[in-house]
Amino acid sequence: MSSENTVQEQIKYLKSLKAVRERAKKVYEKAEANALNHFKVDFSKLEVVVSKVISLIKRDYKQISDIPPHGRWRHFDVGGCARIQALIERWKVGCDTLEITRRLLDLFVISVLLDAGAGNVWTYKEPETGNIYSRSEGLAIASLDMFKSGALSASSSQPHQVDAEKLINIRVEDIRLAFQVDENNPLEGLEGRAELLGRLGYALKSHPEFFKSNDNSVGNKVAVHSYKQYQLFCHYIDYLLLNSTINETDTSVKIDTLWTIVIYGLSEVWPSTRTSLNGVSLGDVWPCEVLRSPEDNPDSTDHLVAFHKLSQWLTYSLMEPMTKISGISFEGVEQMTGLPEYRNGGLFVDTGVLAVKESDFERGIEYYKRNATVKSGAEIVPMFEVHDPLVVEWRAVTVILLDVVADKVRNALGLSKEQFSLAQVLEAGTWKVYCDILVKCKD
């Protein structure tokens, strides 16, 4: 095999779902040997996490089948308001189920990609209810209102769609107005969000195999649905259907097919400043120093750890409307992992499973003091950049810890993976437990 082929295989592997869990396991093995560079680990505290997760599940759900999968849909329904269902009911007049699914996919993609850290100050006041939301929930409602207003559509007759040309011409001022940003309500990464949508527009035009409208793309295979031509990227559902197995009772799609669209079709969205190989940006892939060895070949990629957190969050979020509305099932979902972000990862720090080593703690405090306004009485916590070796190590261990917790919860409840999926464990437990801890701290 030539060196060029080897590099291409490395890129393909590091962009795969398989790489996320496999590389994270290598870091977890270091944790089991108490050989992490930046964290001390107390595995006995996992029982505290499991207990909290089970307690929350029993508090919030009568039965496991009531637990929805982790996804963006939950954020849209914050405050007990079924906003997405209201949209679906509105669209039922004149739309078939496939068209409704297309529109939801447009909305979900935009909303997930805009779901980056909002900061501790920003809030969004929902015009229809007057309710005020922050963080991911606030971003969800703001993006929903922006979508409903037609601000992302180039068609006055069809406001509920997203067009590449419209995205390319999005201005910072458009985001500022839509997200109610002013000097008293600052949103972190305002300019970055506008740039991201612009890059998304270019990505859609760069991958016609996934996103270009084609009246004959679906053909007789799904003749029960009408097909309308729009210049928007929800047409990837038609790509999925062309690569699906359809019978009388089920439409089945391999998770790798959906993943291909997300990881390759949207590759231009991610900043080029991230880890790259042979000039190809790898996305959410980072060097992990604990995996380096003095004997490694200089060209080795064995120390690179893949997460693809936002891509997995998007994939989880897209599966739900396709399953609920269009009856599409997905094969191989077990390849998906837990999401290594601050809520899941923070759970293991706050419960004492992971503890930052003293030298790193002091380094994080110094960084905080240099980069934040320290207010009297405010809690001072260590702060690190997303690419910091400590954060990479933390995220990698979190991926496997979520698997371990899920298995322990299932064992305690007498359930199998088929009966209680990882996506349900995330939704009902690990992600929500951390939110519960935050609320109790504020109280």
Question: Mean pLDDT over all residues of the chain?
Answer: 86
User: Distance between alpha carbon 191 and the CA centroid of its chain, in Å?
Assistant: 20
* DSSP secondary structure string for all residues of 366-430: HHHHHHS---TT--------TTSHHHHHHHHHHHHHHHHHHHHHHHHHT--TTTS-HHHHIIIII
Over pLDDT 90: what percentage of the chain? 61
Asked whether the CA dihedral 420, 421, 422, 426 is positive or negative, the reply is negative
- Residue 106 main-chain phi, psi, to 5 deg: -55, -50
Using 50, 70 and 90 to split pLDDT, how confident is the model at 221?
very low
Q: Identify whether the C-beta of residue 319 lies closer than 8 Å to the C-beta of residue 330.
A: yes
Q: How many CB atoms lie within 10 A of CB 68?
A: 15
Using 50, 70 and 90 to split pLDDT, how confident is the model at 94?
confident
How high is the pLDDT of residue 3? 59
pLDDT of 70 over the 70 cut: yes
Using 50, 70 and 90 to split pLDDT, how confident is the model at 377?
very low
For residues 92-97, average pLDDT: 89
pLDDT of 369 over the 50 cut: yes
- Token pair listed for 355: 């503890």
Q: Cα–Cα distance between 33 and 213 in angstroms, integer?
A: 53
How high is the pLDDT of residue 164? 86
Using 50, 70 and 90 to split pLDDT, how confident is the model at 269?
confident
Using 50, 70 and 90 to split pLDDT, how confident is the model at 319?
very high
Q: Cα–Cα distance between 69 and 421 in angstroms, integer?
A: 8
Q: Whose CA is closest to 142, among 127, 155, 153?
A: 127
Which tens digit of pLDDT belongs to each residue from 139-155?
A: 999 999 999 999 998 88
Which tens digit of pLDDT belongs to each residue from 303-316?
A: 999 999 999 999 99
Q: Where are the domains of the chain?
A: 7-67+277-291+333-443, 71-242
